Amino acid sequence: MSPTMLGLAPRPVLRPDVRRSPLPVAGQVEPAAPALVGADGTVLDHGTLRRRVDALAEELDARAAGERLLVHVPMPSTVEAVVGYLAVLEAGHVALVTSADPTASAAVTDAWPVDLAMTAHGTFETSADASPRHLLHPDLALLLSTSGSTGSPKLVRLSHENVLSNAAAIAQALSLTASDRGVTSLPLHYCFGLSVLHSHLTVGASVALTTASVVEEAFWSVVDDHRVTDIAVVPHMVELMETTGVLQRPHPSLRLITQAGGRLAPERVERTARLGAEHGWGLAVMYGQTEATARIAVHDPAAALTAPDAVGRPVPGTQVVLDRDVPEADPHAGTGEVVVRGPGVMMGYAQHPDELAPGPMLTELRTGDLGRLDEDGVLRIVGRRSGFVKVLGLRIDLARVETALEREGLVVCVTGDDDGLRVAVEPVGGTSTTDLSGMARRTAAHACGLGVGHVRVAVLPLARLSNGKVDRAGCDVLVRASDPEECVDARQQMDAPPLQVRVGAALSTVLGRDEIDLARSFVAQGGDSLSHVQASTRLTALLGTLPPDWHHRPLQDLVTAAVAGGRTDQDEQPATGRLARWLGGPVRLETSVVLRALAVVMICGTHAGLFRLLGGAHTLLVVAGYNAALFGLSAATARGRWRGSTRLLVGIAVPTMLVALVGLSYGRYGWDNVLMANWLVDDISYGKHNELWFIDSLLACVLVTTVVLSLPGVSRRWRVDPWQVAFGLVLAGLVPRFLILTFADGVLRGMMPTVFWLFAVGLALATARTVARRRWTLGAMVLGIAWYFPDDPVRNATILAGVLALALLPSIRVPSRLVPAVATLAAASLIIYLVQFQVLDLVPTPPLKTLAALAVGVVVWRWTDAPLRRLADRLVRPRTPACDPTPERTAA
C-alpha cells in the first residue's frame, strides 16, 4: 500500500536541496579530511564517504521504485554498517536500528516486519514481499528502541529534523570541530552511541570504529594510536576505568570524556574530573533520553568540580521547564517533573506498525524525571516519577519485567535503581524457595537484557496497602532487608572476604576508629599526612603496591583491584644470598615514606657528630608540601582545607609547645620557640633558639598556603587545576629566596620566606600528573637549589637527589625485614626531630647519641600519637548540617 492513498506523498528521494543524513553539507568540510577510521586502521575521508553513501542511496532508490521503505539496520561498529545506515537516511527511507546480534534484536524484528534488511557487509536483502508494507510519514527517519539494547518492541519515532538538530546541538555544546575524533566506546545501536556518530560527522569530524571495551588494552591502543579526542561513557564504564586505572596513564590526544546513560555519583564525578584536570582532559556530564533524540543537557566540564551533582544546561535550541504540579514535586526543594521542548523532541512512540504513519504527536516531552533548576539554569536530576530505572546505562521498564515474570505464573513486585533490579516474589506452594528465586532471577534478567548478577530476588509475602494494592516501597524494603549485601555491617562481618576485614582492622588501628567504612576513602575518614605512613605500609603489606592516589579512592576499590589483579601480597623476586635472604624479599614503600625515614636519620646522625650529611630538613619541607597537597589541602572547599590543615597543625604545634615549654624551664628555649615564631623575632643565627627552625618554617608554610588557597579566585582555580596554583606558589616563593639571599648576609636559609619555595615544590610535585608539568617543577627546583648553600654543593645535591626521587619514583623497594623500622622512623620523624636535642646532650658518644635520639623519639611518638589524634578529631569535627550547610569534599 502506498502512502499516496492517504495523501501522504513520499518525500522525493535524493533531492539535492534536502539534507537527510548527518553528513556535512558539501563545501563545509575538506573532502580529504578523515571521517571514519576502521578497525584495521583504514581511514575513509569525507569525500570518499560521501561518494559511497550517495552511490548506495541511488541503488536503494532504484530498488524501491520511488517508494519509501522500512529498512532493518543492524549496527555493528564497522565502516560498511555506517555507510549502509547513512545511505538509508540519505535515500529518504526509514531506518529501524537494532543490535547486530540477531538474538538480541529478535523481539523487535518479530514485531516489526521490514521491507529491506542490511547485511553485516553493508549490503541489502529484500524480504519475501518486496513492496512497501507500511505507511511511513514523510518526516520519519529513524526508529530506536526506548531502552537501548534491552529488546523492547516499543519504538521511538525520530524525524530528520530530530536527528540533524540534535547532532548540531551536541556538537555546539561540546565545542566539537573538524579536528575532533570520537570512538565507538558505546554500541552504535544505542541512542547515546549513535549520537556520537551523528554529532561528529555533522561538523566534519571523524570517528574511530572499534568493538573493544574500555577495559581492554586494544581500546586504548585505538585511542592513542588514532588520536581520539573524546570518549563517550556510561556510569558502569567510569567505574571500570577507575578500577583498572587506565585514565591515570597519559593519553595525549584526549580532551574530553562525556558521560550519560544514568546517574554518576557526585563523588565519582569529582574524582574523575580531578583526574582529568591533572591529565589535561575534561569531564562533561550529560543528561538525555532516546525520546529527545539523544542529549537534553550538557554540563560544562569546568563546572564538574564545583557542581558535581548537576547535569548541565539545555543544549542549544532546547528548553527545559519544571512541572511543579505533579504529585511527586517538592515545592520546598523547588523540584518538579522535567519537561523538554525543542526540535529534539520525538514524533511519538510506535507500538504497532499503524503508528508509523502519523506525524509529530508531541510538542513537549515529559521525561518522568524529577529535577531542579538553579538560578543559572543548571539542571539537577533528583529522582524519577515512573517505573523506569537505568542499570549499566540501559533504561528498563519495570512494568515490562513484571509482565514477563507474570507470564511464568509468578506474583511479583519489581523495583530497582542504578545498581540493579530487586524482585519480590510471592511463595508458591509445592515449589521450593530456591527454585522460585532462580527462575525469577533468570526470567527478569532475560526480559531486560541484564546479567543475573544485577537482579536480586527475595521469596516472601508481598507487602500490601490497606486497599489490597501492592505496596511497592514496602516490597523494595523487604528485598533489601533480605539481602546481606544491602547491609554494610553484615557485608563486613559476615559475607566480606577476609581481605576486606583485614583492611578495615588495619585502618581502624591507625585512625583510632571503631568502624571503618570501606565505601569511603582514607582521607574521608580522617586520614592525614601524620597517619598516612602507618596506613600506607599496612595496606601495602595487604594489597601490594598502591596506586599514587590511593588516599582518595574508596577502600573497597583498592581491595577489588587487588583481588582482580590476583595479588594480595608483594609479587617480587625471592631474595638470593645469605644477607639478602636474612633481610627478606623487597617490599615497595611510597617514596615519601622512605625519604622521611632517611631524612630524620641524616638529621640525628649529623647533629650527633656521627657523620656530616646535611640537607635532611630541607628535603623534609618538600615532602611536607607533597603530603599537604595529597591530604589536608586536597579538599574542594576552603572550609575543608582549613579542617585538614588544622589537623596537621595540631599534630605539629602541640608537641612543639610542650617540648619548648620544657626547654624554657631551664633556659634552652625562649617564648619565641613556644609560640613557634622564632624566625619573626630572633636574629636567625645559630644558637639555642634556632634549633627548631624547621618547625617554625613548616608551620608558617602550612598557614600561608591555606590562607592563599582560601582566596575565592585561587580556591576556584585550585579545584580545577591545582598544579597551576602550586607552580604559581613556587614562582612566588623563589622571589624572596633570591632577593633575601642575594642582598642580605647571615644564616637566613631557615626562615620561612627563604624556604617556602621548597614547600611549594612539594605541592607542585603532588599535583603534576603529566611529564611536562613534572619537568617544569623540577626545572624550578634546580633553579632554586643552585647555589642555595653556596659553600656546600654536596648539601644542595643531597636535597636535589631527594626531590628527584620523590618526583620520579612512585615507590622504593625496601627489604621486608627493614620495613617496620623504616615505617616507624617515618611516622615518628616529627617527634624525633623535636626531642633529639635534649637527648643528644645526655649521651656520650656519637653512635649512642644517634640511636638514643631515634629510640626516645619513637617512644614519645607512640605515647603521644593517639592522644594527639583524638585532640585533632575534636577540633576539626564537622558541625551539623543545620549550622554548616556547605558540603565538604574530602576526597579528590
Least confident of 44-48, 135-139, 323-327, 830-834: 323-327
Helix axes 532-543, 819-827, angle to 10 degrees: 160
Beta bridge partners of 116: 71, 126
- The whole-number pLDDT of residue 101 equals 84
- The whole-number pLDDT of residue 388 equals 67
pLDDT surpasses 90 at 224: yes
Residue the block writes with cell 536500528 = 97
Report pLDDT digits (tens) over 82-94: 999 999 999 999 9
Beta bridge partners of 339: 321, 366
* C-alpha–C-alpha distance, residues 313 and 299, integer Å: 6
- The whole-number pLDDT of residue 488 equals 44
Residues 132-160 as b or e (16 or more Cβ within 10 Å = b): bbbbbbbbbbbbbbbbbbbbbbebbbbbb
Residue 639 burial (CB < 10 Å; 0-12/13-18/19+)?
A: middle
* C-alpha–C-alpha distance, residues 373 and 450, integer Å: 33
DSSP-derived 3-state class of residue 336 = strand
Is residue 849 within 8 Å of 608, Cβ to Cβ?
A: yes
Helix axes 638-665, 829-840, angle to 10 degrees: 10
Phi, psi of 117 (to 5 degrees): -130, 140
- The whole-number pLDDT of residue 682 equals 55
In 683-830, at which residue ranges do the beta strands (DSSP E only) sit?
811-815
Angle at 569 between CA 564 and CA 571, to 5 degrees: 90
Which residue type sits at 818? Answer: L
Reduce the secondary structure of 711-723 to three states and give it as a string.
Answer: CHHHHHHHHHCHH
pLDDT surpasses 80 at 535: no
In 205-304, at which residue ranges do the beta strands (DSSP E only) sit?
206-208, 230-233, 256-259, 282-288, 295-298
* C-alpha–C-alpha distance, residues 229 and 174, integer Å: 12
- The whole-number pLDDT of residue 430 equals 77
- The whole-number pLDDT of residue 270 equals 92
* C-alpha–C-alpha distance, residues 773 and 728, integer Å: 12
In 28-105, at which residue ranges do the beta strands (DSSP E only) sit?
34-37, 43-45, 70-74, 94-98
Q: For residue 631, which of 769, 525, 508, 768 has the smallest C-alpha distance?
A: 525
Q: What share of the chain is helix, strand, coil (3-state, %, to 5)?
A: 50, 15, 35
Residue 238: which pLDDT band, with cuts at 50, 70 and 90?
A: confident
Residue 514: which pLDDT band, with cuts at 50, 70 and 90?
A: low
Q: What is the mean pLDDT of the chain?
A: 82
CA 71 and chain centroid, separation: 40
Least confident of 90-99, 348-357, 663-672, 695-704: 663-672
Is residue 203 within 8 Å of 171, Cβ to Cβ?
A: yes
Half-sphere exposure of 37 (CA within 13 A, CB side): 21
* C-alpha–C-alpha distance, residues 231 and 257, integer Å: 5
Least confident of 35-49, 152-166, 547-561, 707-721: 547-561
Residue spans of alpha helices (H) in 99-216: 102-111, 160-173, 191-202
Beta bridge partners of 395: 390
pLDDT surpasses 60 at 575: no
Is residue 591 within 8 Å of 555, Cβ to Cβ?
A: no
Helix axes 160-173, 191-202, angle to 10 degrees: 70
Per-residue DSSP letter, 464: B
Least confident of 204-213, 222-231, 537-546: 537-546
The fraction of the chain above a pLDDT of 70, given in percent, is: 85
Backbone torsion region of residue 891, taken as left when φ is above 0, otherwise alpha when ψ lies between -120 and 50, otherwise beta: beta
Number of CB atoms found within 10 A of residue 45's CB: 17
* C-alpha–C-alpha distance, residues 104 and 112, integer Å: 14
CA 184 and chain centroid, separation: 20
Report the pLDDT averaged over residues 526-541.
74
CA torsion 749-752-756-757 (nearest 10°) is -30
Report the pLDDT averaged over residues 625-642.
85
How is 509-545 classified by DSSP, letter by letter? HHHT-S---TTS-TGGGT--TTTHHHHHHHHHHHHSS
Beta strands 348-350; 336-341: pairing state: unpaired
Report pLDDT digits (tens) over 431-479: 888 888 889 998 888 887 777 778 899 998 888 654 455 777 788 888 8
Number of CB atoms found within 10 A of residue 65's CB: 10
Residue 724: which pLDDT band, with cuts at 50, 70 and 90?
A: very high
Which residue type sits at 411? Answer: V
Report pLDDT digits (tens) over 330-387: 778 888 999 999 999 999 999 888 889 899 998 999 998 889 999 899 999 887 776 6
Beta strands 394-397; 412-417: pairing state: unpaired
Report the pLDDT averaged over residues 253-262.
92
Least confident of 44-58, 350-364, 532-546, 574-588: 574-588
* C-alpha–C-alpha distance, residues 97 and 143, integer Å: 6
Residue 516: which pLDDT band, with cuts at 50, 70 and 90?
A: confident
Q: How far is CA 474 from CA 129, 480, 887, in A?
A: 52, 10, 31
Beta strands 116-118; 70-74: pairing state: parallel
- The whole-number pLDDT of residue 76 equals 92
* C-alpha–C-alpha distance, residues 843 and 67, integer Å: 103
pTM of the model: 0.53
Contacts for 82 with CB less than 8 Å, ≥ 6 apart: 36, 188, 197, 207, 209
Is residue 118 within 8 Å of 96, Cβ to Cβ?
A: no
CA torsion 748-754-759-763 (nearest 10°) is -170
Walk me through the domains of the chain, giving residue ranges and CATH numbers: 3-384 (3.40.50.12780), 388-484 (3.30.300.30), 487-543+565-575 (no CATH), 590-876 (no CATH)
Q: For residue 232, which of 198, 203, 265 has the smallest C-alpha distance?
A: 198
Per-residue DSSP letter, 440: H
pLDDT surpasses 90 at 411: no
CA 412 and chain centroid, separation: 36
How is 740-767 classified by DSSP, letter by letter? HHHH--SS-TTSHHHHHHHHHHHHHHHH
Residue 275: which pLDDT band, with cuts at 50, 70 and 90?
A: very high
pLDDT surpasses 50 at 7: no
Beta strands 586-590; 811-815: pairing state: antiparallel
Number of CB atoms found within 10 A of residue 1's CB: 11
Which residue type sits at 217? Answer: E
- The whole-number pLDDT of residue 486 equals 55
Least confident of 6-20, 150-164, 320-334, 767-781: 6-20
* C-alpha–C-alpha distance, residues 21 and 159, integer Å: 11
CA 216 and chain centroid, separation: 18
* C-alpha–C-alpha distance, residues 888 and 719, integer Å: 13
The grid cell for 29 is 568540510
Beta bridge partners of 851: none
Per-residue DSSP letter, 396: E
Is residue 720 within 8 Å of 275, Cβ to Cβ?
A: no
Residue the block writes with cell 511479583 = 412
How many angstroms separate the first and last alpha carbons of the chain? Answer: 62
Q: For residue 459, which of 439, 445, 489, 485 has the smallest C-alpha distance?
A: 439
CA 526 and chain centroid, separation: 21
Is residue 169 within 8 Å of 340, Cβ to Cβ?
A: no
pLDDT surpasses 80 at 480: yes
Per-residue DSSP letter, 235: H
